[in-house]
Structure 1
Amino acid sequence: FAPAALGLCELLSRSGRWAEALAATTPLVAAEDVGEGLLSAHAVALRGLGRHEEALAVYRRAAGAFPGSAIALHNIAAVACDLGRYEEAEAAARAAFAGGGDAPETWLTFGRALQGQARFAEAEAAYRSALDRRPLDPEAHQALAHLLWMQTEDLAAASATLDTALVTSPSSTPLRLIRSSLLDHAGESEAAYAALVSSPPDDDLRLQIAAARAALRLDPARARAHAEAALRAMPDDDQAALALCEAHLALGEPEPAAALAERVRRRRPLDQHVLAYLATAWRLLGDDRYAALYDYAAFVKPWTIETPPGWPDLAAYLVDLAAALNGLHGLRAHPIGQSLRGGAQTSQNLRASQQPAIASFFQAVDAPIRAHLAALGAGKDPLRSRNTGRHALEGVWSVRLRPGDGRHVDHVHPRGWLSSACYIALPQAVEAEGRQGWIKFGEPGTPTAPQLGPEHFVKPEPGRLVLFPSYMWHGTTPFGGDTPRLSMAFDLVPAGKS
């Protein structure tokens, strides 16, 4: 019965129970005569499971069955953006507009498609069109503010439209969260915290959790109070528990921090951030289990990428790869919500790039990745227990750090399994004393008492690929001179056994 299947699928999807949602609609979508709503719900479940190609096929089927449907065309644009097929996304969005579609969601997706093609002025105009149609839309405000920040590195310019919206709706939790994050990543920590607590949090869990994290480096006791309030309001909320875990670490209370991390890990065993917090607590406690997780000799390895076909040697290939990547670095400032500071990150999907040097990169790193998986072997720990010997890429990007303030603050990759840094073009400063521009491991990205420092360093070299567990804290040291530091990075997840 299609209406019941549709309702069940939507209910399960809202709960994140994607596999069950998909099962509810699968028998019905096999028929030829299927409603557009059921097809869309089925595709939403596929997207929730990360099966974007299949979702795109379903959306295309809906567009064919219901010609001119602005909803179907919008959905094609949205999932094409997910896949980094920005030209296809743009075309679908334009077709939706031509068919009478004018939803703010489509303008937002249109903007993302344009931004993915480095057409930043057009993307800005599209985001503003979305806000013209829905002036308090949080996603559009975030997209516009983040784009303006990355283009200008000017906080006032980036937040101008957002600030105007907050005058109209000062109690909007989503807008306050966006404003606070923008301030924090612009280096305005006190202002970031004030943006969250300037008016009563009206028992909003998200504000309490954000205030706890914003207060961590300012006043850990205040951070604990916010996190405890959030956890009292929602005792089973994982983010509230992790915020309290961070506060305990900052106050030098590793026992309750470890207990909270263990509790969340039981529900989210693959979350690499949870493993990082647990490892940090174990390090403070002197627990032997820390050394098993942070086994640098076994888990952190440098490799040299191969020369792909078409180049005489690795040096020649790296010159062409650097030129191709530099051509994509059209932004000035670091993205909001990332570890990068003092530099820029590509906004394009490099996996889908047609440029020969970039497209060949994945062949160049394939053998080192396979060798790394073989060297890891099997085991019962959170890293090796997932090793199938096969892998899938989960995001690829390039970073260009500028000398002086360019660095990565210490962080982990919550959704990865293995992470990487591959060095393409390096400043002379990496050869100088002081490990300038090197990658470092072990220093937590969250405050601890006592403060914990780095334990392991790897020197960058052109063509060197460093692979390491995604749960392992890592960052980079600043460097001097006048030459930027250019790298590529990606995350890996296990693939099924052959």
Structure 2
Amino acid sequence: MSTPNPAIIQSMQRASALLQAGNFVAARSLLEQVVQAAPGFVEAYRLLAGALLAIGDRDGAERSLRRAVAIDPNWAPAQAALGELLVDSGRVDEGERALRQAAAHGSRYPRATLLLVRLLNDLGRHAEVVNLTEASANEARADLDLLHQRAIALSATDRADDAIAIYRRLADAAPDNAGIEMLLAGALDSAGRHREAEQHARRAIANGANTPEARYLHARTLIATDRTDEAERLLREVVEARPRFADAHNNLAQLVWMRSGDVAAATEQIDRVLHSHPDDNALATIKANLFAAAGEVRAALASIEERAASASADVPVLLCASQNALWSDAERALGYAQRALRLAPAGALPNRAVIEALLALGDARSAVDGAEKQLRLQPNDQYLIALLATSWRLLGDPRYLAYCDYPGMARGWTIDTPTGWDSLPSYLADLRESLKRLHTMRTHPLHQSLRHGSQTAQNLLDVDDPAIRAFFPAIDGPIRRHIETIGHGADPLRRRNTGGYKIAGIWSVRLNAQGYHTNHVHPQGWLSSACYIELPRALAGDNPGREGFLKFGEPGYPTQPKLEPEYFIRPEPGLLALFPSYFWHGTVPFGGDDTRLTIAFDLVPA
């Protein structure tokens, strides 16, 4: 490519100034003259694409970028701009290829790598991000945005400590940077280290990060440390300052719901904003999901279906409608899911919604194809494994029995008596009292499996209580014995068995009379659990109805034909049930007037 003459260079400088000033029409006209005069000048085509894109000519921008790439396939800025344009246009596969070619030039154009890893994180392909950012993360002057994307990926691949270390490194390098302090607070909060997160969030706000986003994160840490009055006041201030802040509304609605059990009170603030902004799909979706969590599926569908019927419906609206239509009209649910998939072909949630609707319609063969395709991208996703296994069960495929070997993979173990207690019953009595002090909510959280009960907001790993701290050595032996018993193999459980484990999340659940867990899986786990601390009297004796039993194999969504539970574990005080996180599991409701208290946690391989 020859060097442009001085007149062309001057025209490029004028065009760049016009673009910076926002005069895109004049910039386009000048750049069109430049590419006519110097048809081999790659950078002119890239700037022309920017001007065309700014005035809404996406097709013209793509043609200009493709011309630039044809002239010099190794010019990373043009390849990256083309990739970004294709991704934004929904052509994710093409866009990824262009971004990968641009990123191959490494340090010559680091923005290409940043665009690529952002895309991969958005697609849930976090392991690839970790690999792509390994070398650059160790550079002395590593890019802040790239390190942030690496930290996101590390958190998503069970390396929260490494993600936190990145933010600590950045905070040490810029101790007065309130934004980095907030990133550290967010990473700590995501890792369940809520007390530390609260301290950093408070410090960041004091140092100038007093934005709605910062106060929202602070409120989240307050909820997780059981300071709910302060959290509710702060969330109300946030939504008052920014009425269409959907995440803040979602957390406020959930908090009010859990504290009161009153749907009207929980949706009051959302209804007020929707009255002024009836086009706000995000808030309407939150409201519908709240109805669904309260057991009012018909009300949930009624509140969202008019929006879903609109040609302008977005992905969250369509997915919400699909989920709630699934129980009454699987054909309609499939239609909503397919529309969502057309809008976001690479989206994990639209793909899963289509599979769910196919199973509800009895099209298990198509469901197998969809699940296998998604598992190639996310091979350890427990929900996708559950969908595939369910499809096999409907087809009578023998591979189902290898994946769902209930007697060999799910069993109960008695926990050990920890040091400091002379018997298991005396320890369970103290643990019961410690846990009950943490159950301050009236009813269950949104988007969780339990019904008619409460769940602790605190991460039990972060609770400073002698009986709760003693729980971890009490379960260590049973967990290790279970891991040794399941052994190694090719199925999704055994192939990940390293012999070690790490607790990925731990909480307590208190079920009231007629309480139960809906059938569900734990998508981010490996092994999941239920440890029984206190049981209702209804579970004693013969119990022919299996009240309160842990059941396995009954899917959490309708299938055609309907599938029944295949395996049960009977609860006992001090019993720790361990099973693959991809097993559909729930509980049989129990009667009487007393409660059931458990601890549950997820494990991932160490």
Specify the TM-score bucket, using the shorter chain as the normaliser: over 0.9
Aligned twin of 1:420: 529
8 Å contact from structure 1 (residues 442, 472) kept in 2: yes
Q: For residues 133 and 281 of structure 1, do their structure 2 counterparts lie closer, same or farther at Cα, with a shift above 3 Å needed? A: same
Q: For residues 407 and 79 of structure 1, do their structure 2 counterparts lie closer, same or farther at Cα, with a shift above 3 Å needed? A: same
Aligned twin of 2:381: 271
Q: For residues 203 and 417 of structure 1, do their structure 2 counterparts lie closer, same or farther at Cα, with a shift above 3 Å needed? A: same
| Mapped partners of 1:206, 1:221: distance in 2 | 19
2:578 aligned counterpart, secondary structure: strand
Deviation at 1:147, TM superposition (A): 0.8
| Correspondent of 2:411 among 280, 301, 314 | 301
The CA deviation string for residues 202-234 of structure 1, in whole angstroms up to 9 with x for no partner, is: 142332222111100021121122223233444
Deviation at 1:381, TM superposition (A): 1.3
1:467 aligned counterpart, secondary structure: strand
Aligned twin of 2:578: 467
| Mapped partners of 1:450, 1:36: distance in 2 | 52
2:513 aligned counterpart, secondary structure: coil
Aligned twin of 2:306: 198
**How well do the aligned residues superpose, as a CA RMSD in angstroms?**
2.2
Deviation at 1:79, TM superposition (A): 2.0
Aligned twin of 1:488: 599
Deviation at 1:155, TM superposition (A): 0.2
Deviation at 1:74, TM superposition (A): 1.7
How many residues get paired?
491
Aligned twin of 2:510: 400
TM-score (norm 2): 0.77
Higher helix proportion (structure 1 or 2) = 2
1:416 aligned counterpart, secondary structure: coil
Deviation at 1:37, TM superposition (A): 6.0
Aligned twin of 2:214: 106
What are the equivalent positions in structure 2 for 1:419-438 lying under 5 Å apart? Answer: 419-431=528-540, 432-438=543-549
Q: Given the alignment of the two structures, is residue 223 of structure 1 paired with residue 330 of structure 2, yes or no?
A: no
What are the equivalent positions in structure 2 for 1:84-95 lying under 5 Å apart? Answer: 84-95=192-203
2:432 aligned counterpart, secondary structure: helix
Counterpart of 2:588, as a letter, is T
| Mapped partners of 2:108, 2:208: distance in 1 | 27
Counterpart of 2:598, as a letter, is S
Counterpart of 1:243, as a letter, is A
Counterpart of 1:412, as a letter, is V
8 Å contact from structure 2 (residues 439, 456) kept in 1: yes
Aligned twin of 2:226: 118
What are the equivalent positions in structure 2 for 1:54-453 lying under 5 Å apart? Answer: 54-199=162-307, 200=310, 202-404=312-514, 406-431=515-540, 432-453=543-564
Aligned twin of 2:91: none
8 Å contact from structure 1 (residues 393, 492) kept in 2: yes
Q: For residues 352 and 234 of structure 1, do their structure 2 counterparts lie closer, same or farther at Cα, with a shift above 3 Å needed? A: closer
8 Å contact from structure 1 (residues 10, 41) kept in 2: no
The CA deviation string for residues 162-182 of structure 1, in whole angstroms up to 9 with x for no partner, is: 122222322223222211111
* Percent identity (aligned): 45
The CA deviation string for residues 362-404 of structure 1, in whole angstroms up to 9 with x for no partner, is: 1111111111111111111111111111111110011000012
Q: For residues 4 and 127 of structure 1, do their structure 2 counterparts lie closer, same or farther at Cα, with a shift above 3 Å needed? A: farther
Counterpart of 2:378, as a letter, is R
The CA deviation string for residues 331-369 of structure 1, in whole angstroms up to 9 with x for no partner, is: 011110011100000000101222111111111111111
TM-score (norm 1): 0.93
| Mapped partners of 1:184, 1:360: distance in 2 | 37
Q: For residues 380 and 88 of structure 1, do their structure 2 counterparts lie closer, same or farther at Cα, with a shift above 3 Å needed? A: closer
Select between 274-283 and 363-372 the one with higher mean Cα deviation.
Answer: 274-283
2:435 aligned counterpart, secondary structure: helix
Deviation at 1:301, TM superposition (A): 0.9
8 Å contact from structure 2 (residues 285, 317) kept in 1: yes
| Mapped partners of 1:464, 1:494: distance in 2 | 22
Question: Larger radius of gyration, structure 1 or 2?
Answer: 2
| Mapped partners of 1:474, 1:282: distance in 2 | 17
8 Å contact from structure 2 (residues 459, 506) kept in 1: yes
Q: Which has the higher contact order (CA 8 A, sep 6+)?
A: 1
2:551 aligned counterpart, secondary structure: strand
Deviation at 1:36, TM superposition (A): 6.2
1:490 aligned counterpart, secondary structure: strand
2:438 aligned counterpart, secondary structure: coil
Q: For residues 96 and 230 of structure 1, do their structure 2 counterparts lie closer, same or farther at Cα, with a shift above 3 Å needed? A: closer
2:133 aligned counterpart, secondary structure: helix
8 Å contact from structure 2 (residues 129, 150) kept in 1: no
| Correspondent of 1:18 among 125, 129, 141 | 129
8 Å contact from structure 2 (residues 550, 568) kept in 1: yes
Select between 302-311 and 126-135 the one with higher mean Cα deviation.
Answer: 126-135
Q: For residues 21 and 258 of structure 1, do their structure 2 counterparts lie closer, same or farther at Cα, with a shift above 3 Å needed? A: closer
Deviation at 1:21, TM superposition (A): 5.5
Select between 205-214 and 434-443 the one with higher mean Cα deviation.
Answer: 205-214
For structure 2, the residue ranges without an aligned partner over 5 or more in a row are 1-105, 122-127
Counterpart of 1:407, as a letter, is Y
8 Å contact from structure 1 (residues 103, 133) kept in 2: no
| Mapped partners of 2:305, 2:478: distance in 1 | 49
